[in-house]
Amino acid sequence: MFTQPTFSVFTATFNRAKFLPKLYEALLNQTFKSFEWLIIDDGSSDNTQKIIENFVEENKISIKYIYQEHKGKHAATNKALDLANGIFFLPLDDDDLPLNNALSLLISTYEDIPEVVKPYFSAVTGLCIDPEGKVIGDAFPEDIIDSDPIEMYYKFKIKGDKWGCQLTKIRKQYKYPVPSMKLNYYPEITIFGEIAKKYKTRYINKPLKIVRYHSDGLSKRKLPNAYSKKISHMYILNEHIDYFEKNPYEFFIHSILYTRWSLHCKKIEIKGIKPILSKILILVSFPAGFLFYLYDKFYAQKKI
């Protein structure tokens, strides 16, 4: 008889077979066992498939492996959402390691939300730590707090990697758009910003996973995909400007970076910026954005 898993743990991977055995071991060690592991291989040319076939052969956990041509993490996420059967959708990078009690903490935290308000919640999120056990970025202002990622960033000024799950039925409603241009990575803020307009997240001051940064990861690329960055800052300037008074410095930075990446894309779309205040910020910060662009163009070590 088919039993619905509680979690659909999703991993997108691309030529990083060396990290998969430790991740597999971390999943085997979970104290909460009701989950499936969805692995979307985004066009790897190393021995990723062979390693995963060995995992499947052991038959210790439920694994679904899909190979696709290299399309980027956003396309892999959409594919995983199509396949996900779990109640919760839990993205997990191939080089990160969930703590043994991570899934148990996520489900117990969600179950503690009062039934009367549960329809207003879509997610549970906790802290990340580095390999030495130090919390990455800021802890939340309370040990348990109900908010959303936008308020958490602008009102409480919480930064640094955080990790958690979304209700799959809600996350399926917010897939990444299929872009007209080729993107290596579609900005997550455009998805989770929209979810935050309708749903809350329960945040807990408990570590859930170990994050390991590597030179070939998205967070370490000196010049990430310009279109992705442009879309991200454009979205923030359009959708979050109401938080300007709480954190004006951040919006000056976003306007500078919008100009920077727009110049790399050879198009600044002022008409695409709706709020008047955001238009003014872009005009005022244009010289700084232009200087960043020149630095990238003539001095940065890596090309876009």
**Distance, C-alpha 127 to centroid of its chain:** 14
Low-confidence ranges of the chain (pLDDT < 50): 1, 218-222, 303-304
- Determine how many CB atoms are found less than 10 A away from the CB of residue 69: 7
Task: Domain ranges for the chain, please list them.
Answer: 7-214, 222-298
Which amino acid would we find at residue 82?
D
For residue 219, the model assigns a pLDDT of: 47
The packing angle between helices 226-239 and 248-264, to 10°, is 140
For residue 297, the model assigns a pLDDT of: 85
- Phi, psi dihedral angles at 207 (to 5 degrees): -70, 140
For residue 71, the model assigns a pLDDT of: 86
For residue 217, the model assigns a pLDDT of: 53
What are the tens digits of pLDDT across the range 31-63? 999 999 999 999 999 999 999 999 999 999 999
Q: Which CATH class for the 7-214 domain? A: alpha beta
Distance CA 50, CA 43 (A): 14
For residue 215, the model assigns a pLDDT of: 57
Cα–Cα separations (whole angstroms), residue 255 to 61, 92, 99, 272: 46, 31, 38, 13
Cα–Cα separations (whole angstroms), residue 277 to 89, 255, 281: 37, 11, 6
Distance CA 169, CA 84 (A): 10
Residue 144 β-bridge partners? 204
For residue 299, the model assigns a pLDDT of: 75
Distance CA 34, CA 149 (A): 27
Distance CA 127, CA 9 (A): 17
For residue 168, the model assigns a pLDDT of: 98
